[in-house]
Amino acid sequence: MNSILVSSQAPNRLRVLAWASWLSLVVAVLAAATALFSQWGVNAESFGARDMGLALSFAFVGGVILIGSLYAVPVLVVLGVLSLFVQRRAGFRFLAAAAVTALPLVVLTLLEGA
């Protein structure tokens, strides 16, 4: 009886893992796009350069997303590596989400260094 419950719950767990990996990838893409747009929008001629309130909101939102990205990248990498053993596609989606989340951090690091 117990083995029937475990085997019937396994597909639901895999489905939750797949949905969580898709959700993390979508959130990572949106966060990366928002962070890069916010960094550009602070000094853009028609956005932040003319309106101080808009520039401050872009700077605040971009900073919050970058701090969240800094903490999310290692978590997504660990989730990706652990889920590779369970469901390979979900693991690759978690690793892709980690790479996309790290993109604004890499871009801004390279821009600040130049």
Residuewise pLDDT in 10s, the chain (114 residues): 444 444 556 677 788 889 999 999 999 999 999 988 888 887 777 766 677 788 888 889 889 999 999 999 999 999 999 999 989 999 999 999 999 999 988 988 887 766
This model's pTM is above 0.85 = no
Q: Residue 109: its pLDDT value, please?
A: 86
Q: Where are the domains of the chain?
A: 17-113
**Gap between the Cα atoms of 79 and 98, Å rounded:** 10
First to last CA, the chain: 64
Q: Residue 114: its pLDDT value, please?
A: 61
**Gap between the Cα atoms of 43 and 78, Å rounded:** 36
Residue 55 phi, psi (nearest 5): -65, -40
Q: Residue 68: its pLDDT value, please?
A: 92
**Gap between the Cα atoms of 33 and 101, Å rounded:** 9
